[in-house]
């Protein structure tokens, strides 16, 4: 069993940030889901091709370089990708509205329209 405090096993090294790393290598540095020891390279390919929804409600893609049949990433790109996923941009509250809040807004607008005679 992994120690709980070993979330990212030396994932990002500031010493050599622009070296290209294979997806298999970077996947071994991050834990997988449901207790898996490592993340799967397919997860990283999905983040490159389709992206992932960030906290700001926008879809962000992992920057990568394709060389032949291999995808390669840099540690800087991985760090920036995770920063974009967790960062709330300007006016993020205007873009991301929880469904319950949106339902209340719609109900209030309907009441206002009925009160105005529409």
Q: What is the DSSP string of the chain?
A: ---TT-SSSS---TTSTT--EEHHHHHTTS--STT-SS--HHHHHHHHHT-EE-TTS-EE----EEETTEEEE-HHHHHHHHHHHH---TTHHHH---HHHHHHHHHHHHHHHHHTT-
Give pLDDT, residue 23: 95
Average of pLDDT values for 26-45?
Answer: 91
Give the domain ranges of the chain: 21-87
pLDDT digits 0-9 by tens, 74-108: 999 999 999 888 876 665 555 666 788 888 999 99
> Of 47-51, 53-57, 102-106, where does mean pLDDT reach its minimum?
53-57
- Whole-model pTM: value is 0.62
């Amino acid at each position: 069993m992994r120690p709980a405090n070993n979330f990212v096993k030396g994932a990002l090294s500031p010493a050599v940030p622009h070296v290209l790393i294979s997806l298999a290598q970077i996947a071994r540095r991050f834990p997988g889901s449901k207790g898996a020891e490592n993340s799967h390279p397919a997860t990283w390919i999905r983040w490159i091709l389709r992206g992932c929804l960030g906290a700001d409600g926008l879809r962000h893609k992992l920057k990568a370089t394709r060389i032949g049949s291999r995808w390669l990433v840099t540690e800087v790109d991985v760090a920036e990708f995770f920063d974009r996923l967790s960062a709330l941009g300007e006016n993020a509250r205007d873009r991301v509205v929880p469904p319950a809040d949106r339902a209340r807004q719609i109900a209030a607008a309907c009441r206002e329209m009925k009160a105005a005679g529409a």
